[in-house]
Structure 1
Amino acid sequence: MAKLQYLVIHCTATPEGREVSAADIRRWHTSPAPAGRGWKQVGYTDLFHLDGRVERLVANNEDANVDPWEITNGAAGYNSISRHIVYAGGCDASMKPKDTRTAAQKEALRKYVLDFHTRHPSVKIVGHNQLAAKACPSFDVAAWLLEIGIKQ
């Protein structure tokens, strides 16, 4: 068990407007290669659907620790100290990075992050791209946090 240090925001890197299911994510992450990545666990705790629904993918007791059964595979080197969340989307039709969050996703993400920050004010909230050379989550998390009133 480790102290929770990061909330990492991801995108599914799928085209704008395409819904993603929990089953899709499980298949992408846990199926053996070459169909999937062959991981023991998915990469995210929660999935933000296009309509703003938030679906829990991995059980979490919401405390300030990352228990072994809560570890997801979102960012190499950070998994044991992070919670990872993901929104469906993040690419345009040609698969280039684009902030494709719907109004409902933006609102659901805003509520989730504000609640999370209230409960865990010392946890750093970052985009995946702040931990690895990636475009994910296809928007500037630091600027967005300021917009919603979170200073880190």
Structure 2
Amino acid sequence: MMIMAKLKYLVIHCTATPEGREVSSADIRKWHTSPVAQGGRGWKQVGYTDLFHLNGGVERLVENNEDAQVDPWEVTNGAKGYNSVSRHIVYAGGVEKDGKTPKDTRTGCQKKALEKYVKDFHRKFPDVRIIGHNELAAKACPSFDVQEWLKEIGINQ
């Protein structure tokens, strides 16, 4: 039986989809939970708790009771080795139109929604470290410098 763990990280991701292309929760579910033979990752659960749409809408992908513990049913597969102590969130985008080159493609609406979410989160959980996926893994994701952005929006951690 999995035991709940103290929440240590809020990890920001991008979907690594081309600039301007919307992503649905169904897309993410398919990418993450479809069998590997069908082009998915074969995971039991999606990788993120919340998805930030191009229009700034925030969609809950995995239920969460909003406390400082990561319950077994809240665990998402965002970063290997860190999932039991992290909440993962994702914005639609993160690469150039070529579909390969990392780029901060956050729309104005996504930036506003992300800022509000992160500030609210930080107020509730000041001890939880907010980081980019690239701070845990050798990846470009989320295609922007999270620590720099946090300073810009007035979060010092």
Residue 55 of structure 1: aligned partner: 59
Residue type at the aligned position of 2:65:
N
Please say if 1:118 is aligned against 2:146: no
Residue 74 of structure 2: aligned partner: 70
Residue 35 of structure 2: aligned partner: 32
Q: Per-residue CA shift, 1:40-63, capped at 9, x if unaligned?
A: 000000000000000000000000
Residue type at the aligned position of 1:148:
I
How far apart in 1 are the matches of 2:23 and 2:33? 16
How many equivalent pairs are there? 152
Residue type at the aligned position of 2:123:
T
Match of 1:8, SS?
A: strand
**TM-score after normalising by structure 1:** 0.99
Matches within 5 A, 1:1-152: 1-34=4-37, 35-94=39-98, 95-152=100-157
Q: CA RMSD in A?
A: 0.4
Q: Which runs of 5+ in 1 are unaligned?
A: none
Once the two structures are TM-superposed, the CA of residue 129 in structure 1 deviates from its matched residue by: 0.0
Match of 1:26, SS?
A: helix
How far apart in 1 are the matches of 2:154 and 2:70? 26
Q: Per-residue CA shift, 1:9-64, capped at 9, x if unaligned?
A: 00000000000000000000000013100000000000000000000000000000
Sequence identity (%):
77
Q: Which runs of 5+ in 2 are unaligned?
A: none
Match of 1:104, SS?
A: helix
